[in-house]
Amino acid sequence: MKKYVLELIVFICGAAVMVLELIGSRVLAPYLGTSIFVWTSLIGIILGSLSLGYYYGGRISDKYPDYKIFSLIIFLSAVCVTFIALLKFLFLTFLMGQVEDIKAGSVIAATVLFAPPSILLGMVSPYAVKLKIKDLAGSGSTVGNLYAISTVGSIAGTFLAGFWLIPQFGNTAILYGIAVVLLGTSILVYARGPLLIKAAILILIMGGMAGHLELKKALADNGVLDIDTQYSRVLIFNGSDYKTNRPVKYMQCDTNSNSAMFLDSGELVFEYTKYYDLAAHFKPDFKKSLMIGGAAYSYPKYYLKKYPNAEIDVVEIDPKLTELAKQYFDLRDNPRLRVYHQDGRIFLNKTENKYDIIFGDAFRSSHSIPYQLTTKESAQAMYGILNDGGAVLINIISAIEGDKGKFLRAEYKTFKSVFPQVYLFYVQTGEALKSQNLMLAALKSEEKPQFANDDKQLNLFLHNLWTAEITDDLPILTDEYAPVDNYIMELL
């Protein structure tokens, strides 16, 4: 073997491990979400698999210190990655039909899809060490050098995946790309191996890539777009409203349909978004609002039309969603609309703007919630940028009582620790044990509001005020302790 080829190989395989791990979160997201449980399962399974790879790689290399076997190991890792790309949809769809528990589903999915290639890639470094060592005198340096290079490869793979590959290419294309690189690496190790088999695998990879591209084209031709952004996997598709059967365009980020618009009018599709109009009841003279969470900008568009004398700032962490909203959801530039592309909590911490109303729509998924927006410190930041008499209106998916209501009760208590008045409105049903959209209203005012309005629709919303006592059985959420993922697990 030529000098430094083994170093190059451990670098490539180290990079492949981390690209695979990061893309793994995107593969699982549409089916399992992006909660801490999914990440824990993915990281834990891959680390465990690498450990097995180190163990067996060392033993196999002692028994068979052969470049042909070394090449075969890398070749098999390419085969495993190819099968992830080919079978992930069928397997994950089947799994979700059989396993309801997110923790169990995450562990099973990570094990079946990502353990095999991770074990094989874990075998690469100890095998390379065995092939590289010529005598015991320099063995320590050889081991240290190769493992350092492998780690540098993992670092490079991490930045490559996070900063470039995932934002630029789809999950399936990246998986096929990893497979091609690993296949090429196996040939680099031992070019005289079973070329017919390797050629067949290359044809399979290329065929899979071509099929994937054709499928994406066919879906696009039928109005379904599948797009990966820096933050999520986004599906845009046409459907119909289940109540009226009117045509609707949906935006789905990971597991949930986050935004939608009627194709025949500018009305709001989701019932909970209509409850944001309670702003006009609690602060009738509002002039400037903030919305945390934009997605397809359904409510901001409606707001600009309904309140022609008011302004709205929208904080949306994902600039690609804003771009898609402009391209597919009729979002237009407007002097009364300002968009900030950053994390909602960072914006709250840094902004010097003042607002009459704050709309919270970052909790749209029941699979994953940005916990940093749920805490007392976040509520204090909202309080600080509200004008006197202002209101915060936050959409929460939860029950009110029982295990499925834990997140709501914790969030309700958290806001009550900051705001003089906090109220709750149910959107779908007055049953405390039912999971649904709930609108939490926190007021920066000591003056008790009326719960009646001359506007018929507002009066209907106000009629859905939750008047029963809410159980005080959970701690206030803080930046130090906010077990939000544990609470929302009860909803799944």
| 414 Cβ contact list (under 8 Å, min separation 6) | 374, 375, 376, 379, 476, 477
Give the largest CA-CA distance in the chain. 90
pLDDT band at 268 (very low <50, low <70, confident <90, very high): very high
Average pLDDT of span 253-277? 87
SS3 446: coil
Q: How far apart, in whole angstroms, are the C-alpha atoms of residue 35 and residue 487?
A: 11
Residue 195 pLDDT > 80: no
pLDDT band at 364 (very low <50, low <70, confident <90, very high): low
Q: Which of 113-122, 254-263, 468-477 is the least confident region?
A: 254-263
pLDDT digits (tens, 9 = 90+) for 70-91: 999 999 999 999 999 888 988 9
| 196 Cβ contact list (under 8 Å, min separation 6) | none
SS3 443: strand
The per-residue pLDDT for 188 is 84
Q: Which of 236-240, 342-346, 418-422 is the least confident region?
A: 236-240
The per-residue pLDDT for 30 is 80
H or E element that contains 250? strand 247-253
Residue 469 pLDDT > 60: yes
And the tokens for 363? 């909790």
And the tokens for 207? 């065929």
The per-residue pLDDT for 223 is 66
Q: Which of 154-158, 208-212, 373-377 is the least confident region?
A: 208-212
pLDDT digits (tens, 9 = 90+) for 417-438: 999 999 999 999 889 999 999 9
Torsion of the alpha carbons at 16, 21, 22 and 27, rounded to the nearest 10: 110
Where do the DSSP E strands lie in 302-435? 311-315, 337-340, 355-360, 386-398, 421-426
The per-residue pLDDT for 187 is 84
Residue 404 pLDDT > 70: yes
The per-residue pLDDT for 265 is 87
Q: How far apart, in whole angstroms, are the C-alpha atoms of residue 383 and residue 315?
A: 17
The per-residue pLDDT for 213 is 62
How many CA atoms, within 13 angstroms, populate the side-chain half-sphere of residue 202? 14
Average pLDDT, the chain: 89
SS3 257: strand
Q: Could you tell me the domains of the chain?
A: 5-221 (1.20.1250), 253-489 (3.40.50.150)
pLDDT band at 370 (very low <50, low <70, confident <90, very high): confident
The per-residue pLDDT for 143 is 86
What are the catalytic residues?
A: 361
Q: DSSP alpha helices (H): ranges in 307-421? A: 319-328, 344-350, 376-385, 406-416
And the tokens for 425? 């409105």
Q: Greater confidence, 33 or 203?
A: 33
Average pLDDT of span 235-251? 88
Average pLDDT of span 412-421? 98
100 close to 67: Cβ distance less than 8 angstroms: no
| Nearest alpha carbon to residue 201 among 72, 392, 95, 294 | 72
State the sign of the Cα–Cα–Cα–Cα dihedral 46, 48, 49, 54.
positive
The per-residue pLDDT for 219 is 58
Residue 354 pLDDT > 90: yes
Residue 284 pLDDT > 90: yes
Q: Which of 20-24, 33-37, 270-274, 302-306 is the least confident region?
A: 33-37
Q: Greater confidence, 366 or 112?
A: 112
The per-residue pLDDT for 167 is 79
Residue whose structure tokens are 């095998």: 127
Residue 48 pLDDT > 90: yes
pLDDT digits (tens, 9 = 90+) for 102-127: 889 999 999 999 999 999 999 999 99
